[in-house]
Amino acid sequence: MSSPRRTITLTADNFCDYLPTDYAESLVTDFAIGPGGIGAGDAIVDKFRAWLAWESSWALDVWYEMSRPDAAAFLQVIAIRPDSLWE
């Protein structure tokens, strides 16, 4: 019997510690951000979270989670100031 996966809750502050940002960057490239920014209910957030679930399905020992608001905030940071994630 395999041991249970540990759950890692991702935020904009810790995302780069666990996963690459390539996919997030590809999502926001040429994405028109409205005056309200990227919202938790936007389709781009759904796509990003679906990718995150897919990444989790390949990991043997962890499961990644990220709330809709955190995913929206992370994508917003990637879209506006991607280098700030490594500051």
Between these two residues, 21 and 83, which has the higher pLDDT value? 21
**Is the pTM higher than 0.75?**
yes
For residue 53, what pLDDT is reported?
95
| Domain total of the chain | 1
Between 53 and 84, the more confident residue is 53
87 inside domain: no
Looking at per-residue pLDDT, the higher value among 68 and 2 belongs to 68
Rounded Cα gap, residues 79 and 23, in angstroms: 12
Residue 31 domain-assigned (yes or no) = yes
For residues 69 and 18, the answer to whether their CB atoms sit within 8 Å is no
Question: pLDDT tens digits, residue range 18-57?
Answer: 999 999 999 998 888 888 899 999 999 999 999 999 999 9
In order, the DSSP letters of the chain are -PPPPEEEE--TTTHHHHS-SHHHHHHHTT----TT-S-TTSHHHHHHHHHHHHHHHH-SSEEEE--HHHHHHHHHHHHH-GGGGG-
Residue 1: inside a domain: no
Assigned domain for 25 exists: yes
Whether residue 69 is contained in a domain is answered as yes
Decide if 41 is inside a domain. Answer: yes
What is the domain range of residue 59?
6-82
